[in-house]
Amino acid sequence: MSVLSGKKILLGISGGIAAYKTATLVRLFIKAGAQVQVVMTPASKDFVTPLTLATLSKNPVYSTFYEELDEDNNTKEGVWNNHVELALWADLMLIAPATANTLSKMASGTCDNLLMATYLSAKCPVYYAPAMDLDMYKHPSTLENFKKLQEFGNTMIPAESGELASGLSGEGRLAEPENIVSFLEADLASKLPLRGKKFLVTAGPTYEAIDPVRFIGNHSSGKMGFDIALSAANKGAEVILVTGPTHLNVENHLIQIIRITSAQEMYEVCHQYFDAVDVVIAAAAVADYKPKNVAQQKIKKAEDTFVIELEKNKDILFSLGQIKKNQFLVGFALETDNEINNAKAKIIKKNLDLIVLNSLNDVGAGFGKPTNKVTFIDKDFTIFENELKAKELVADDIINLIVKKYEA
């Protein structure tokens, strides 16, 4: 999955022949999983049509401050295209092609069209891909504008060398759409706060066999652990996701899924990878007990009562806490009474850095629900209470706490 997946990209197009490449660029952004909104200068519509870009982006294309909607009974109605709203919507803004004229306006603050008004309102990272003829690209005024825009915090996607529209050959050609996408992916990835960190996340239930047909399990869906893994990957971490039986899946090139069934299998996989990771988040609902003797054949229904002797599973989190070095260890606690004190006791016993406390007494929390209400308690017993929210947002809260640890 591309780092652009889920990103809101505002694409500004100015009036140069290279604008024809933006149709391919929009298509690549959509393929990467991004949302795209296009703003054009009036001149750019001579080179690529708004209809083409609207079709590919699946969004309206804007080029003027005011657009006429319809005419009825000699009255005209219209709508103002809010440049501030467009700018605030975006996670990143890309101006491509950025002509010499547009670059000059960006550097000087000249605001004479919708694209420039949107650019001046942008609070997100701004990238620009220049495109012009060879001598224009090397002109002192253009070079000065590049310098100014860099000082403003904008990022240039350098032009490439090749055949130009004038017939000359040299530097000034708009970077190819595939190269623009690669540049953005690499630049965004380099700025992710967990880049270079490795996470081990456990998720889902474990199934403890009684015989080849029956098992002891629980109602965990695994959603919390999957959401945590995805949130960590979205911030640049490499994630090993060890999951018990679940129908869930996640597609992200930074996430390696290892599927297991029993607590013993999860124990072995966690210990296999523990030394190589920086963070462990144990969100799995691991069975505390397993049948002492597992029947090799299906047990026949013969008696009115049936007794299964159980024995304790190995405590995965406890065992990792005993051997941890510099790893940041996060556990979960599902409690029904004396919640805070029980959670604090687990922090000490299992040598945790953070515990995420769930209470089954909270409406909307627990197994099989899309929401959760948790309380964070760190190793210093500092308590952070949270409101009921979607599990995806709870996952983000957990990962953001870890990001703060590494930024401190």
Confidence of residue 169 (pLDDT cuts 50, 70, 90): confident
Nearest to 206 by CA among 250, 301, 270: 270
pLDDT score of 181: 97
| % of the chain with per-residue pLDDT over 90 | 80
Model confidence at 270: pLDDT above 80: yes
State the average pLDDT over residues 158-163: 92
255-259, strands of its sheet edge to edge: 255-259, 238-243, 198-203, 279-282, 328-335, 354-359, 374-378, 383-385
Q: How many other C-beta atoms lie within 10 A of the C-beta of residue 301?
A: 7
Nearest to 7 by CA among 31, 41, 23: 31
Give the burial class of 318: count Cβ atoms within 10 A of its Cβ; 0-12 exposed, 13-18 middle, 19 or more buried: middle
Q: Does domain 8-190 have CATH number 3.40.50.1950?
A: yes
pLDDT tens track for 340-352:
999 999 999 999 9
Q: Which residues pair with 348 in a beta bridge?
A: none
72-76, 125-129, 241-245, 334-338: least confident range: 72-76
Token code pair at residue 375: 């309380």
Select which of 218, 342, 351, 386 is catalytic. 218
For 269, the enclosing helix (H) or strand (E) is helix 263-273
**In this structure, what are the phi and psi dihedrals at residue 364, rounded to the nearest 5 degrees?**
95, -5
73 given a catalytic annotation:
no
Calculate ∠ Cα 315-256-6, nearest 5°: 120
pLDDT score of 307: 92
Please count the CA atoms within 13 angstroms of the CA of 158 that sit on its side-chain side.
7
pLDDT tens track for 215-262:
999 999 999 999 999 999 999 999 999 999 999 999 888 999 999 999
Is residue 21 within 8 Å of residue 124, measured between CB atoms? no
Model confidence at 368: pLDDT above 60: yes
- Identical fold, 8-190 and 198-407: yes
Q: For the structural domain made of 198-407, what CATH number should be given? A: 3.40.50.10300
CA 375 vs CA 4, 130, 196, 312: distances in Å: 32, 49, 28, 28
CA 254 vs CA 186, 190, 200, 238, 272: distances in Å: 14, 14, 12, 5, 19
pLDDT tens track for 5-27:
889 999 999 999 999 999 999 99
CA 315 vs CA 335, 350, 396: distances in Å: 17, 9, 26
Q: What is the mean pLDDT of the chain?
A: 92
Domain borders along the chain are 8-190, 198-407
